[in-house]
Chains A and B, each alone.
Chain A
Amino acid sequence: MTTRKTEIGGYPSPAEWARDLNRRTVLKGGVALAGLSAIGVSCGSDAATEFTGSIGDAGGALTIGSNASDPAPQAGLAAVVASFPNEDVEVTINTLDHNTYQENINAILQAGEDDVLAWFAGFRNKFFADQGLLGDISDVWDQVDGLGAGFLAASTATDGKQYFMPTSYYTWAVNYSKSLFAEKGYSEPSNVDELLGLADDMASDGITPFVFANDGQWPIMGTFDILNMRINGYDFHIDLMGGKHEWTDERVRNVFTTWESLLPYHQTGANGRTWQEGAAALETGECGMYLLGTFAASASEALAADMDFFNFPEIDPAIGAGALDAPIDGFQMIAEPKNAAAAKELLLHMSTAAAQDAYLSEDPSVVASNSGANTSVYNDLQKKSAALAGSATGISQFLDRDTIPDFAGECGNMFAEFIEDPSKVDGLLADLEEKKVAIFADYS
């Protein structure tokens, strides 16, 4: 770890972000050593492949497994491959739609047809790395330039090695319509009292303050994440996701008490509303604010042109408002790739500013991970996203990426039931704690 380049400078590789994640990884590294012998090392075949860091030595066929079924990311990945400066490698992109891909990741990893796979940073990457299903790319990271320590930490598994190459990220914040705010004279709140005041103003203007849409049971996980991080802090949130706190804990209960007090400001019937319908409610001015990822802008061009966002304000001054969800996307290599040399060259290329510039030229909805990427072409939302993540004191990956997938599903069920009938919260939390114990026992 000491020789690894962890330069920090320019966004999005903030010192604060780095410090928080790094400490955690180091702590976990020690714990992991004990368990390592039991897991066994599965990537022995790659150990012999010496990666020098020069692109152009490898040849042959290489397949990328991609979950980019949307037109823009699909074109983005194609642009990255086109910019790969090694014409001896014949790259094929195998695209599956995002949901099918995610649900079938186990089968895809076992099938071994794709050398390089699109995936998520942090827990979701570590989860498979710890099972020996991914290839160690620490030697690629030795050559990486321009990725901050936060990205390094989010790419490092329990054994202290890297298994992930982050390429882009986006942020979660409170989105709103600029024209509505201008028309009604609203301004961005800087603490929770101002937020509630703003919500009251909206309500008296006949506008529902918050869009609330939860079809698929993932969107409101973002609400839980931000409330928990504002009320209990980043470390507590990550530890809760890691199964280290009880859901019946007083502190978790406090989050739901606050959430319940905010529910009257939200749309009703959220469980049957898709996030796209929610975005339409923001566009039409039926609702005033929407806590969602910046992908909200992808719902319509009109909304994209009129959308702005602010960071969810602080609730407890002692904790502040420095933490937020900013999921990082990128690529990983399978444990036994058919063409490890080409895979590593491509992964190194993907980490570069040039490759990310190529990607962002097709898909401007995300922000580049490399600090050398050309930010002058960023639109206002990208600039704000990068600045927000750059000043963050803690970055989480979103609930369904920060914990065991099965458990995330249980949380989704619980939140959906909670918003239907908040009075059941104690029973629901007790159930969730039981499920947590069972699921975490299965995976430990």
Chain B
Amino acid sequence: MTVKRWPRVLAHVFLIALAVLWLVPLVGMVFTSFRPYAETSIDGFFSWPDSMSLDNFRNAWDRGEMGQHFIVTIALVVPAVALTLLFSSMVAFAVSRFSWRFNIALLMLFTAGNLLPPQAIIQPLFQIYLRIPLPEIPFISNSGELRGSLIGLILINTAFQSGFCTFVLANYMKTLPKELNEAAMVDGASVWRQYWQIVMPLTRPALAALATLEFAWIYNDYFWAVALIQQGDDLPITSSLRNLSGEFFTDENVVAAGSLIVVLPTLIIYLILRRQFIGGLSLGGTKG
């Protein structure tokens, strides 16, 4: 028996050690967010607390004007995720259900786009955005051009996320039996109907998984917003978090509290849709 027990014990020791290693910074952050800066700066972050309060959270919420930035975030993430899934499912449908000469080339194009670092295209993108005028609509396009507008941000996030989603959805749709479409065709269903009423309902698990992943990714996006939005008030929540740092002095405890507030929505989504989330991760990893 002892021969079999030891590896198990060792495995658990290893796992516990690893879990602690992962948790220390997170717990440290939660702990710090309740304590005043004056205390942690002198006593260190891992000292016994003299006073704990929610002041840092209140401070972060007020100073970071988080209510407003959360509204911007919702207005960005919801349409961006919906458009990403709509467009990429259309491409995936075409690529997986019809044999066309450029199927492989098209799929490769989308996958390659997925590998492109955003930093590589920001300069031309910024110049293009600068030259495309938009009607000045409050909130949607305050700047009067694609740069600095919510629309511009939704568009680039949609475009950039479509590659990965197309790749995943095409692979998923390939696993659906071709006979379904053939039967529908015999019954006279149009291409749109085959897409919307036959394939899309069957793709729901993949769509749900991607929706949770995409929500987290677009929500966490920092780069596009910082590069394309120049008005502090128009930044989504993740990019606006830096407004809690000053020129020199930064109250790290307030930043910890602010980060916790910002992390909360993704955490809640993850807990509710854990199954889809994990499903989504393996979708990208094993198929193809």
Chain B residue nearest to A295 (CB atoms) is: B248
**By the criterion CB–CB under 8 Å, are A111 and B230 in contact?**
yes
A70-B246, A73-B247, A94-B231 are contacts. A300–B143 as well, Cβ < 8 Å? no
**By the criterion CB–CB under 8 Å, are B230 and A299 in contact?**
no
Residues of A within 8 A of B242 (CB): 69, 97, 99-100
Q: Which of A71, A114, A277, A302 contacts B38 (CB 8 A)?
A: A302
Distance A95 CA – B69 CA, assembled complex (angstroms): 13
Distance A198 CA – B41 CA, assembled complex (angstroms): 27
Residues of A within 8 A of B249 (CB): 70, 276, 295, 298-299
Distance A198 CA – B38 CA, assembled complex (angstroms): 29
CB < 8 Å A-B pair total: 85
**By the criterion CB–CB under 8 Å, are B63 and A298 in contact?**
no
Interface of A: prevailing SS: helix
Chain B interface residue count, CB cutoff 8 Å, equals 27
- For chain B, residues 183 to 242, give those with C-beta under 8 angstroms from any C-beta of chain A: 226-227, 230-233, 239, 242
A113-B230, A275-B248 are contacts. A69–B38 as well, Cβ < 8 Å? no
Does B243 sit within 8 A of A, measured CB to CB? yes
A276-B41, A280-B42 are contacts. A98–B246 as well, Cβ < 8 Å? yes
Residues of A within 8 A of B245 (CB): 69, 97-99
Residues of A within 8 A of B163 (CB): none
Q: Which of B63, B147, B227 contacts A71 (CB 8 A)?
A: B63
Report the minimum CB–CB distance from B4 to chain A (whole Å): 45
Does B83 sit within 8 A of A, measured CB to CB? no
Q: Which of A95, A104, A279, A295 contacts B243 (CB 8 A)?
A: A95
Interface bin, chain A? 35 or more
Does B250 sit within 8 A of A, measured CB to CB? yes
A99-B242, A107-B126, A113-B148 are contacts. A300–B247 as well, Cβ < 8 Å? no
Distance A144 CA – B1 CA, assembled complex (angstroms): 91
- For chain A, residues 48 to 95, give those with C-beta under 8 angstroms from any C-beta of chain B: 65, 67-71, 73, 94-95
Distance A171 CA – B42 CA, assembled complex (angstroms): 25
**By the criterion CB–CB under 8 Å, are B246 and A94 in contact?**
no
Does B130 sit within 8 A of A, measured CB to CB? yes
Distance A279 CA – B38 CA, assembled complex (angstroms): 12
A71-B63, A99-B242 are contacts. A107–B247 as well, Cβ < 8 Å? no
Chain A residue nearest to B227 (CB atoms) is: A107
A104-B230, A276-B41 are contacts. A111–B248 as well, Cβ < 8 Å? no
Residues of A within 8 A of B243 (CB): 69, 95-97
Chain B residue nearest to A70 (CB atoms) is: B246
**By the criterion CB–CB under 8 Å, are B147 and A283 in contact?**
no
Chain A residue nearest to B142 (CB atoms) is: A113
Does A293 sit within 8 A of B, measured CB to CB? yes
Report the minimum CB–CB distance from B121 to chain A (whole Å): 15
Report the minimum CB–CB distance from A167 to chain B (whole Å): 14
Residue of B143, B249, B252 with highest tally of chain A CB at under 10 A: B249
A/B interface sample: 19 pairs, CB < 8 A: A70-B248, A96-B230, A96-B243, A97-B242, A99-B242, A104-B226, A104-B227, A104-B230, A110-B130, A111-B147, A113-B143, A113-B231, A276-B249, A277-B41, A293-B248, A295-B247, A295-B249, A300-B37, A300-B42
Q: Given known contacts A100-B226, A100-B239, what 14 new A-B pairs fall within 8 Å (CB)? A: A68-B247, A69-B242, A69-B244, A73-B247, A94-B232, A97-B242, A107-B230, A108-B230, A111-B147, A113-B230, A113-B231, A276-B41, A298-B248, A300-B37
Chain B interface residues toward A at CB < 8 A: 37-38, 41-42, 63, 126, 130, 143, 147-148, 226-227, 230-233, 239, 242-250, 252
Chain A interface residues toward B at CB < 8 A: 65, 67-71, 73, 94-100, 104, 107-108, 110-111, 113-114, 275-277, 279-280, 283-284, 293, 295, 298-302
